Homo-oligomer: A and B are copies of this chain.
Amino acid sequence: MKRLAILTSGGDAPGMNTVIRAIFNKASREAVEIVGIQYGFLGILCKNFVSLEAEKVNDAIAAGGTILYSSRFPEFIEENVQLEAIQILREENIDGLIVIGGKGSQEGAAALTRLDFPTIGVPATIDNDIPATETTVGFDTAVNTIVTALDKTRDTANSHVRTFVIEIKGRRSGDLALWAGVAGGADFIVIPEQTANMTQIADKIKHSIERKKKHCLIVLAEKVMSASELTTRLKEEGILHIRQIALGHVPRGGTPSPFDRVWASKFGSAAVQFFLNEQFGCCLCVQQNQLVAVPFEEALAKQNNRIDLSLTLLNASISY
């Protein structure tokens, strides 16, 4: 019986459990043994190998977080650590590894591939920061959580005729801010991929106030600056009735959305199929709404970034 190991790594994302469930059930049907590794890459080194129980795995289809736990493990960037990990995986008779995580985790998977360990990547992160894929498991859920918060903020902003700056976590990409901003009716979206001009933002807000608009929402990706910094700078531009909110880690949790669950299911099932076919060294991606396998190097290459910057133009054309 072949042994397929799986781990979740980096920031947790809603739907990681749905991926695990799909892998586990598909593997059961195919007579592949699933070995869980707890706490991500660190768990390989610590030999946190566990077997999974069908009922617990299936009950987690709708659960946030990851039943395999996760960790950040920056030391995994070093080759000697990677080699030690591979040695342990071989000692445990692991025939292949599925890495479920975001950009950093897929870089770890790419390293194992370069060192000839059979590895497959499943993109799962709320940040949607893997260049070659249109979506990652967890992104849609996080957008949902943020937009729910934006809708509530709009109620309060409206009642008090105020401007709110809402800061969105996100290590690299502004995609979360972009989607949430369009869906939440933001007046302005500030992301690292595009230069923001304070005067321009302030003019937009002032224009709204002149037209008796009852509220303004500025959605800000934290990588650009903090909400309190932006608030201070807008006050300097003469915007007085302004408040700030930082949503923090909240959008990382919660039950995965159906969209994330369907893609999680597709990815999980496909990952086992790739393992059966002995196709390794690829990150599964969504391109043109289709599941494809992309070699790690290409999947992670900056120039393949699929962030849809036309959304800012769209937002400018339809904001009030």
Which positions in A face B, CB cutoff 8 Å?
A: 8, 11-12, 14, 21-22, 25-26, 29, 54-55, 58-59, 61-66, 69-71, 134, 140, 143-147, 149, 151-156, 158-161, 164, 179-180, 182-185, 213-214, 243-255, 257-259, 261-262, 265-266, 268-269, 286, 288-290, 311, 314-315, 317-320
Tell me, in angstroms, the Cα distance from A59 to B214 when the chains sit together: 10
A-B pairs with beta carbons under 8 Å apart, 30 shown: A11-B156, A12-B156, A14-B155, A25-B318, A29-B317, A54-B320, A59-B158, A69-B158, A69-B160, A69-B161, A69-B214, A140-B258, A143-B258, A144-B257, A147-B261, A151-B254, A151-B255, A152-B251, A155-B252, A155-B253, A164-B249, A179-B258, A179-B262, A183-B262, A245-B248, A257-B257, A265-B314, A265-B315, A286-B289, A288-B289
Within the complex, the shortest CB–CB distance from A286 to chain B, in Å, comes to 8
Question: Which residues of the partner chain B approach A180 to less than 8 Å between Cβ atoms?
Answer: 258
Question: Which residues of the partner chain B approach A265 to less than 8 Å between Cβ atoms?
Answer: 182-183, 314-315, 318
Cβ A318 vs Cβ B22 within 8 A: yes
The 9 closest A-B pairs by CB, nearest first: A152-B253, A155-B253, A64-B155, A183-B258, A288-B288, A65-B155, A12-B159, A245-B248, A183-B261
Question: Which residues of the partner chain B approach A154 to less than 8 Å between Cβ atoms?
Answer: 62, 65, 253
Number of copies of this kind of chain in the complex: 4
Cβ B69 vs Cβ A159 within 8 A: yes
Question: Which residues of the partner chain B approach A29 to less than 8 Å between Cβ atoms?
Answer: 317
Cβ B71 vs Cβ A25 within 8 A: no
Tell me, in angstroms, the Cα distance from A140 to B206 when the chains sit together: 35
Cβ A246 vs Cβ B248 within 8 A: yes
A65-B156 contact in complex given A151-B253, A183-B258, A320-B25, C-beta closer than 8 Å: yes
